[in-house]
Structure 1
Amino acid sequence: MNDEASKQLTDARFKRLVGVQRTTFEEMLAVLKTAYQLKHAKGGRKPKLSLEDLLMATLQYVREYRTYEEIAADFGVHESKLNPSEPMG
């Protein structure tokens, strides 16, 4: 499930499917955005996934024990775009 699909969910269903409350997700996203802006202050290539989708994919990986290949297929990107040992972007 990507971020767009998750916006259609009720708060209770979001928590059941994602594993964190929507407010927690938003707080995590704010921290991620700040870190991303600091790291990419000089610019660079636009990432294939939005930060919202990247966070959603990470939560799916941790919560559901899915492979990068499965998650990448759901988001329509190559698994190298999710692998933390590979440079993102």
Structure 2
Amino acid sequence: MKFKKNNQISDKNFLRLTGIKHTTFNKMLEILKIEELKKRFRRGRTNKLSLENRILIDFLQN
């Protein structure tokens, strides 16, 4: 399930699907974007998935 699709669902359904609220998800996203910018200059393969989708995958796997 992609983030764009999840961003359009209600808060109640998002909570049911992921276990966290939209506001918590957005705060986590802000923090991780800052860390991602710090990590950008390291070597390695670039990610094909967006940060939002990677976070959702982690929540949906657990």
TM range (shorter): 0.7 to 0.9
Within 5 A, what are the aligned runs for 1:1-89?
A: 1-41=1-41, 46-62=46-62
Higher helix share: 2
Query: 2:4 is aligned with what amino acid?
Result: E
Percent identity, please: 35
What is the CA–CA distance in structure 2 between the aligned matches of 1:46 and 1:3, rounded to whole Å? 19
Q: For residue 43 of structure 1, report the CA deviation from its aligned partner.
A: 8.0
Query: TM-score, with normalisation over the residues of structure 1?
Result: 0.62
Q: For residue 20 of structure 1, report the CA deviation from its aligned partner.
A: 0.2
Q: Deviations over 1:48-77 (max 9, x none)?
A: 000000001011112xxxxxxxxxxxxxxx
Query: TM-score, with normalisation over the residues of structure 2?
Result: 0.85
Query: 1:48 is aligned with what amino acid?
Result: K
Larger RCO: Structure 1 or Structure 2 (Cα < 8 Å, ≥ 6 residues apart)? 2
Q: How many residues align?
A: 62
Unmatched 5+ stretches in structure 1: 63-89
